[in-house]
Amino acid sequence: MVTAIDNPPGTGQATRAEGTSSGWRETVGVYVALTKPRIIELLLVTTVPVMFLAERGIPSLWLIVATLIGGYLSAGAANTFNMVYDRDIDAKMNRTSNRPLVTGLVSVRAAMIFGAVLTVLSTVWFAVFVNVLSAVLSVAAILLYAVGYTILLKRHTSQNIVWGGIAGCMPVLIGWAAVTGTIGWPAVILFLVIFWWTPPHYWPLSLAFKDDYANAEVPMLPVEKPATHVTLQIVVYSWAMVLTSLALIPVAPMGWVYAVVAVLSGGLFIAEAHRLRRASARGESQSVLKPMRLFHYSISYVTLLFLAVAIDPLLYFALPI
């Protein structure tokens, strides 16, 4: 029983105000979760360095900020549509079972409206504050991920992440286009680096969560093929990625900073891919195979490589060696 002492005058109003404030924060948090902010962080890591390379220096702060805002809105739209369509299989996977559309924190209608609003906002934002080409590339990225990967590929082919990964390459082109208004060969090469990087980044994760994907009937490569086949593919794509990254040196051109980082970080990536391959060939258990080790390093690799993409032009053109 609640007495006057338990609830003195004025506390009810304060509690309601605090509840309203907390409710707004929770609502904002739920909608932010729809955009998959952790994935977007990785996408944006590839955008800004390319802008530095395209500028051959430091672009205007406003252009960087405007491009990042547009990129977040665009990727957020694509990720929201992905969560709407995949809500049935997300419910079957431990890794995704707490997403807002699975738990019912957001309705399908509300999520679709949110995704549509983000699509319009990102397109208009890019067109007004950056340029038309970046707006076109942004729309293409949304369609490639929400339709190409999520609807057409993910549930129908084990090559889903290969071709569906093209959407994740688009921030590279957007960053270059934001500065130059064109698509240059250096941007194309870096686009291909991310294209080759995506499978050896994602397949180790799929190996670790193979049972989840099998339960959801998603034909990821590790579900369809044995670990020996998957790890061989990881090795092949890793070599293609590193060799493509080296092609940027004569094309851009790049200096010694990028060259050193590309060789060392790429060499470590290949070594880790071969380690995974050897472990799978021996039939090692999941605890010994440790596929997530390559997954985590792949994030470090792309971060280091693109950091070098940003730093190298500043030193190369200021202090040619």
39 pLDDT more than 80: no
CB atoms < 10 A from the CB of 252, how many? 22
How high is the mean pLDDT of the chain? 90
Top-confidence residue, 94 or 4:
94
Residues 82, 152: Cα–Cα separation, whole Å: 12
Note the pLDDT of residue 213: 93
Q: Give per-residue pLDDT as tens, 86-144.
A: 999 999 998 899 999 999 999 999 999 999 999 999 999 999 999 999 999 999 999 99
In this structure, which long-range contacts are made by residues 131-136, counting pairs with CB atoms below 8 Å and at least 24 apart in sequence?
131/177, 131/178, 131/181, 133/177, 133/181, 133/182, 133/183, 134/67, 134/70, 134/174, 134/177, 134/178, 135/70
> Is it true that domain 34-183 has CATH number 1.10.357.140?
yes
User: Rounded CA gap, 146 and 140, in Å?
Assistant: 10
Asked if the 184-321 domain carries CATH number 1.20.960, the reply is no
Residue 146 has which token pair? 């929400």
> What residue segments make up the domains of the chain, in order of their start?
34-183, 184-321
Q: What per-residue confidence (pLDDT) applies to 18?
A: 45
Identify the weakest region by mean pLDDT among 15-24, 158-167, 255-264.
15-24
pLDDT tens sequence across 174-224: 999 999 999 999 999 999 999 999 999 999 999 999 999 999 999 999 999
Question: What's the first-to-final CA gap in the chain, in angstroms?
Answer: 80
DSSP summary character for residue 59 = P
pLDDT for the residue 319: 54
Cα 111–Cα 113–Cα 114 angle in degrees, nearest 5: 60
What is the reported pTM? 0.89
Position 315 scores a pLDDT of: 83
* DSSP string across 259-274: HHHHHHHHHHHHHHHH
Q: pLDDT of 234-263, one tens digit each?
A: 999 999 999 999 999 999 999 999 999 999
Average pLDDT over residues 290-310: 95
pLDDT of 317 strictly over 80: no
- Using CA atoms, how far apart are residues 305 and 122, in angstroms rounded to an integer? 27
